[in-house]
A = this chain, B = another copy of it.
Amino acid sequence: MKHLNRVNILKTISHPVRIRILEELANDVKCVSDMEEFLEISQSNISQHLAALRHADLIDYFVDGRLRCYFLKSPIIIDLLEVLKKDYPDDLPGPECCPVSRKGTYAGERNR
């Protein structure tokens, strides 16, 4: 079941707006009207993205009067954001020469 949950986390964060929200929350508590300043989308759309993040248990909030103050709840997000920020210049080296599998020799030259 953990696997499905992880896939669900990935799905949930696979959106530019939600990544942006999470990056901001990784630094700071933010309420929705703070977010309206750096996100160029409607308030109700922001709320929908926040709902998606809440349903995946990635964020939570506390209430200050009519503000809802969101913060990051899930520690995996910190690590995922860090990986997403890293630079990865090169491709992995291809497999060593001629690995062998049950079905084939895997000997051939690489194609494209």
Contact = CB atoms under 8 A, between A and B. Distances in A.
A13 to B, nearest CB: 6
Contacts of A6: 19, 84
Contact of A63 (B92, B103, B111): B111
Contacts of A49: none
Given A14-B11, A76-B83, A62 B110 contact: yes
A64 B29 CA distance: 54
A93 to B, nearest CB: 10
Contacts of A72: 92
Interface string A98-111: 01011111111111
A103 B28 CA distance: 13
A67 B31 contact: no
Interface in A12-34: 13-16, 19, 28-31, 33-34
Interface of A: 3-4, 6-7, 10-11, 13-16, 19, 28-31, 33-34, 60-65, 67, 69, 71-76, 78-80, 83-84, 86, 88, 90-92, 94-95, 99, 101-112
